[in-house]
Amino acid sequence: MNTDPNKTTGGLLSEALGHVSSLVRSEVDLARAEVNENLKAAGVAVGLIIGAVVVALTALNVLTAALVAALTEAGIPAGWSALLVGVALAIVAYVMIKKGTDDLKLSSLAPRCAAKNVKRDTQAVKEVYDDK
Protein backbone atom coordinates (compact mmCIF):
# COMPACT_ATOMS: atom_id res chain seq x y z
CA MET A 1 0.00 0.00 0.00
CA ASN A 2 1.28 3.44 -0.86
CA THR A 3 1.86 5.62 2.23
CA ASP A 4 2.04 8.96 0.41
CA PRO A 5 0.89 11.60 2.97
CA ASN A 6 -0.26 13.93 0.15
CA LYS A 7 -2.85 11.50 -1.23
CA THR A 8 -6.36 12.85 -1.47
CA THR A 9 -9.35 11.32 0.23
CA GLY A 10 -10.71 10.37 -3.19
CA GLY A 11 -7.44 8.65 -4.04
CA LEU A 12 -7.46 6.72 -0.78
CA LEU A 13 -11.09 5.75 -1.28
CA SER A 14 -10.39 4.65 -4.83
CA GLU A 15 -7.45 2.53 -3.67
CA ALA A 16 -9.53 0.94 -0.88
CA LEU A 17 -12.34 0.13 -3.32
CA GLY A 18 -9.80 -1.44 -5.66
CA HIS A 19 -8.54 -3.66 -2.84
CA VAL A 20 -12.08 -4.62 -1.82
CA SER A 21 -12.95 -5.41 -5.44
CA SER A 22 -9.84 -7.57 -5.76
CA LEU A 23 -10.67 -9.36 -2.51
CA VAL A 24 -14.25 -10.07 -3.60
CA ARG A 25 -13.04 -11.34 -6.97
CA SER A 26 -10.57 -13.66 -5.26
CA GLU A 27 -13.24 -14.99 -2.91
CA VAL A 28 -15.62 -15.64 -5.82
CA ASP A 29 -12.85 -17.50 -7.69
CA LEU A 30 -12.15 -19.59 -4.61
CA ALA A 31 -15.84 -20.39 -4.15
CA ARG A 32 -16.15 -21.37 -7.82
CA ALA A 33 -13.15 -23.72 -7.52
CA GLU A 34 -14.59 -25.29 -4.37
CA VAL A 35 -17.98 -25.82 -6.01
CA ASN A 36 -16.37 -27.48 -9.05
CA GLU A 37 -14.37 -29.80 -6.80
CA ASN A 38 -17.45 -30.66 -4.75
CA LEU A 39 -19.48 -31.34 -7.91
CA LYS A 40 -16.87 -33.82 -9.13
CA ALA A 41 -16.97 -35.64 -5.78
CA ALA A 42 -20.77 -35.61 -5.87
CA GLY A 43 -20.71 -37.14 -9.36
CA VAL A 44 -18.59 -40.04 -8.12
CA ALA A 45 -20.92 -40.49 -5.16
CA VAL A 46 -24.00 -40.55 -7.42
CA GLY A 47 -22.31 -43.19 -9.59
CA LEU A 48 -21.69 -45.35 -6.54
CA ILE A 49 -25.30 -44.94 -5.41
CA ILE A 50 -26.61 -45.94 -8.84
CA GLY A 51 -24.37 -49.02 -8.79
CA ALA A 52 -25.64 -49.91 -5.32
CA VAL A 53 -29.27 -49.57 -6.48
CA VAL A 54 -28.62 -51.99 -9.37
CA VAL A 55 -27.06 -54.54 -7.00
CA ALA A 56 -29.86 -54.06 -4.44
CA LEU A 57 -32.55 -54.64 -7.10
CA THR A 58 -30.80 -57.83 -8.17
CA ALA A 59 -30.63 -58.96 -4.56
CA LEU A 60 -34.31 -58.14 -4.06
CA ASN A 61 -35.23 -60.26 -7.09
CA VAL A 62 -33.21 -63.22 -5.78
CA LEU A 63 -34.65 -62.90 -2.27
CA THR A 64 -38.17 -62.60 -3.65
CA ALA A 65 -37.69 -65.77 -5.69
CA ALA A 66 -36.31 -67.52 -2.61
CA LEU A 67 -39.34 -66.44 -0.56
CA VAL A 68 -41.73 -67.69 -3.23
CA ALA A 69 -39.82 -71.01 -3.33
CA ALA A 70 -39.94 -71.27 0.49
CA LEU A 71 -43.70 -70.66 0.54
CA THR A 72 -44.13 -73.27 -2.20
CA GLU A 73 -42.07 -75.77 -0.18
CA ALA A 74 -44.29 -75.00 2.82
CA GLY A 75 -47.29 -76.29 0.84
CA ILE A 76 -48.73 -73.13 -0.74
CA PRO A 77 -49.18 -73.49 -4.52
CA ALA A 78 -46.52 -71.58 -6.54
CA GLY A 79 -49.01 -69.13 -8.08
CA TRP A 80 -50.45 -68.18 -4.71
CA SER A 81 -46.96 -67.88 -3.20
CA ALA A 82 -45.93 -65.45 -5.94
CA LEU A 83 -49.16 -63.48 -5.51
CA LEU A 84 -48.69 -63.17 -1.74
CA VAL A 85 -45.10 -61.98 -2.07
CA GLY A 86 -46.04 -59.58 -4.90
CA VAL A 87 -48.89 -58.02 -2.90
CA ALA A 88 -46.69 -57.63 0.18
CA LEU A 89 -43.99 -55.87 -1.86
CA ALA A 90 -46.60 -53.67 -3.58
CA ILE A 91 -47.91 -52.53 -0.18
CA VAL A 92 -44.38 -51.69 0.98
CA ALA A 93 -43.76 -49.75 -2.27
CA TYR A 94 -47.05 -47.83 -1.90
CA VAL A 95 -46.23 -46.79 1.67
CA MET A 96 -42.76 -45.63 0.61
CA ILE A 97 -44.11 -43.65 -2.38
CA LYS A 98 -46.81 -42.03 -0.25
CA LYS A 99 -44.27 -40.97 2.40
CA GLY A 100 -41.83 -39.71 -0.27
CA THR A 101 -44.41 -37.61 -2.10
CA ASP A 102 -45.69 -36.15 1.17
CA ASP A 103 -42.13 -35.16 2.12
CA LEU A 104 -41.57 -33.48 -1.26
CA LYS A 105 -44.43 -30.99 -1.01
CA LEU A 106 -43.30 -27.39 -1.51
CA SER A 107 -44.07 -26.41 2.07
CA SER A 108 -41.59 -28.96 3.39
CA LEU A 109 -38.87 -27.81 0.94
CA ALA A 110 -39.06 -24.11 1.77
CA PRO A 111 -35.90 -22.75 3.44
CA ARG A 112 -37.58 -21.74 6.71
CA CYS A 113 -34.38 -21.03 8.66
CA ALA A 114 -32.84 -18.86 5.93
CA ALA A 115 -36.10 -16.93 5.47
CA LYS A 116 -36.27 -16.36 9.22
CA ASN A 117 -32.68 -15.07 9.25
CA VAL A 118 -33.34 -12.68 6.36
CA LYS A 119 -36.40 -11.27 8.13
CA ARG A 120 -34.38 -10.84 11.32
CA ASP A 121 -31.53 -9.10 9.47
CA THR A 122 -33.97 -6.83 7.63
CA GLN A 123 -35.59 -5.86 10.92
CA ALA A 124 -32.18 -5.13 12.47
CA VAL A 125 -31.21 -2.87 9.56
CA LYS A 126 -34.55 -1.04 9.79
CA GLU A 127 -34.00 -0.45 13.51
CA VAL A 128 -30.54 0.99 12.87
CA TYR A 129 -31.89 3.43 10.27
CA ASP A 130 -34.95 4.28 12.38
CA ASP A 131 -32.66 5.27 15.28
CA LYS A 132 -30.82 7.82 13.11
Q: What is the pTM of this model?
A: 0.51
Q: Is 23 helix (H, G, I), strand (E, B) or coil?
A: helix
Split the chain (132 residues) into runs of 10 and give each run's mean pLDDT: 68 84 87 87 92 96 97 96 96 94 73 73 73 63
pLDDT score of 5: 62
d(CA 22, CA 49): 40
pLDDT score of 23: 86
Minimal CA–CA distance to 77: which of 89, 69, 88, 86?
Answer: 69
pLDDT score of 8: 86
Other beta carbons within 10 angstroms of residue 12's beta carbon come to 13
